[in-house]
Amino acid sequence: MQNRIYKAIKLRFRRLKKFFRHGILKLILPRDFYFSTKGVCMCCDQEVVFTSYDSWLRDHFLCSKCRCIPRERALMLTIEEFFPNWVNLHVHESSPGKRGGSLKLKKHVKNYMQTQFYPKSTFGTIVQGFRNENLESQTFEDATFDLVITQDVMEHIYHPHKAFKEIARTLKPGGAYVFTVPLVNKHKKSEVWATLGDDGNPVFLKTPEYHGNPVDAKGSPVTMHWGFDIVDFIKESSGMNAQIISNYSKRHGILGEYNEVVICYKK
């Protein structure tokens, strides 16, 4: 009898939890869009429900367990497909997030180095738990890493040719750089969106645009609008051969715009 009561209470609790997670949101948010599907999350490796209450799936199609978004799942799917031994590699992730693939990498990769960019602090030192590094001029020795990862960072770099060259320098022969970046220009030529002013502030050549920054509440200025020609830019800047991977998968919750993953290989 007690076991039956316990099971009934547990079932009721699960229903209430589901309602508070999804039902209340339906009541308080606009009802002009709602999409949900079951699948497997590549970030938390669980059977989940992917849900969005906004038509811009790239930022709102969330995993019910770890709250990651499509581009984060696309990154991990690509890493697991192309680098199945990723847990045994020496990995550098620049500007890691606080969820999704960054947490998975930190949990499973023994030789995992996470860095952030604190321009007012000494590079190569530890600041707030992260090694402080400028992607354009790093303090790491040559051929340090098997894999370098960034997630939506390269649209915020003032001198991307320097960053790609530096990343190639820090990679071991045969290593790879895997990253996400919104390829908003697609078949059009990539455009410089902002340059660095003498006072250290962005000088926008187009409409000012900022994205979220995990270590700066002001956000990060958008400096580049990349197109598919980014692979040519990478080759010219660093000598690395690059390819663009498009993994659109309902089962893995990878839907919406700009979820491409770029892989660069060092010879």
Instruction: Tell me the pLDDT tens digit for each residue of 57-77.
Output: 999 999 999 999 999 999 999
The two counts, helices (H) then strands (E), for the chain are 7, 17
The mean pLDDT of 1-25, rounded to a whole number, is 56
Bridge partner residues of 221 (DSSP): 210
Residues 6+ apart with CB under 8 A from 163: 135, 136, 154, 157
Q: Which secondary-structure segment (H or E) carries 230?
A: helix 230-238
pLDDT of 28 above 60: no
| Predicted local confidence at residue 214, as pLDDT | 75
User: pTM (2 decimals)?
Assistant: 0.87
Residue spans of beta strands (DSSP E) within 100-170: 111-116, 126-127, 130-132, 145-151
Instruction: Tell me the pLDDT tens digit for each residue of 245-263.
Output: 999 999 999 999 999 999 9
| Predicted local confidence at residue 255, as pLDDT | 97
* Spatial distance between the Cα atoms of 97 and 103, rounded to a whole number of angstroms: 8
- Residue 219 pLDDT class (50, 70, 90 cuts): confident
Nearest to 152 by CA among 110, 96, 203: 96
* Spatial distance between the Cα atoms of 154 and 161, rounded to a whole number of angstroms: 10
Question: What burial class does residue 213 get, using C-beta atoms within 10 Å of its C-beta: 0-12 exposed, 13-18 middle, 19+ buried?
Answer: middle
Tell whether the torsion through CA atoms of 124, 108, 48 and 249 is positive or negative. Answer: positive
Rama region for 184: left / alpha / beta (φ>0; ψ in -120 to 50; rest): alpha
- Residue 6 pLDDT class (50, 70, 90 cuts): low
pLDDT of 215 above 70: yes
pLDDT of 35 above 70: yes
Q: Which two tokens stand for residue 154?
A: 């390269």
- Residue 25 pLDDT class (50, 70, 90 cuts): low
The mean pLDDT of 90-118, rounded to a whole number, is 97
| Predicted local confidence at residue 39, as pLDDT | 98
Instruction: Tell me the pLDDT tens digit for each residue of 168-200.
Output: 999 999 999 999 999 999 999 999 999 999 998
The mean pLDDT of 231-240, rounded to a whole number, is 98
List phi, psi (to 5°) of 192: -75, 125
